[in-house]
Amino acid sequence: MWAVVGLGNPGRRYTGTRHNTGFAFIKRIAREWNVKLRKKRFFSKAVEIEREKEKVLLAIPQTYMNNSGLTVKQILEVRGVKPEHLIVVYDDLDIPLGEIRVRKKGGPGTHKGMSSIIQEIQTTGFPRIRVGIGPLAPGADAVNYVLSSFSKSEEPLLEEGLRKAREALEMILSGEVEEAMNIYNQKGKTLPN
């Protein structure tokens, strides 16, 4: 079984903000897979489906970003998901808008949601897809920036990043995390058509 968790903050105030890119991704996947995220499972809105004979749980934590680990810990404990079958999708200021990065494991960087997850589950050994929301303008306040909405001119680049994240997700679910890293961790590279 796989669990795919997108990070963000619940509530209308945060809808459409850069920091909710993980939520936007999971909601998009749920629409594409024709399923609805339900409330009150694992401190999250979640849905479990079967795809190609494999169960996949999609979740968006309702704990606020800094406590995302509470949701992830519940999912791993209750559903018996192994950390290597957990995929976390979240925003990253250090990656340009329209780009993504894939990692098999690693530290949280400066992301509070990732810090919470690693603290709660006591491992860094899980795949993640970092969706670019940067760059931060010199001298700009990072908190205000991540809580701001995308402009109309940025929306096509956001779409490009979410499309790449969707392709990377399919590759990871197929056991091709290394291939996804090779493709998406080089600036400007995409899957061949």
Q: Please report which confidence band the pLDDT of residue 186 belongs to, taking 50, 70 and 90 as the band edges.
A: confident
- Give CA torsion, residues 41, 174, 155, 149, to 10 deg: 30
Closest among 30, 164, 18, 167 to 91, alpha carbons compared: 18
Q: Taken in order 163, 191, 94, 63, is the CA torsion positive or negative?
A: positive
| pLDDT at 191 > cutoff 50 | no
**CATH number for the domain running over 2-184:** 3.40.50.1470
Q: What are phi and psi of 187, to 5 degrees?
A: -55, 130
Helix axes 68-79, 112-121, angle to 10 degrees: 40
161-171, pLDDT tens digit by residue? Answer: 999 999 999 99
* Catalytically annotated residue among 4, 5, 18, 19: 19
- C-alpha 33 chain-centroid distance: 17
pTM of the model: 0.94
Mean pLDDT of 83-105: 97
Report strand pairing: 86-96 vs 38-41.
Answer: unpaired
Which residues share a beta bridge with 59? 5, 46
Sequence length of the chain is 193
Q: Please report which confidence band the pLDDT of residue 38 belongs to, taking 50, 70 and 90 as the band edges.
A: confident
Concerning whether 19 is annotated as a catalytic residue, the answer is: yes
More confident residue, 176 or 188: 176
Closest among 157, 18, 161, 21 to 99, alpha carbons compared: 161
Please confirm whether the linkage preceding 135 is cis (ω < 30° from 0). Answer: yes
Structural domain boundaries in the chain: 2-184
Angstrom distance (rounded) from CA 126 to CA 7? 15
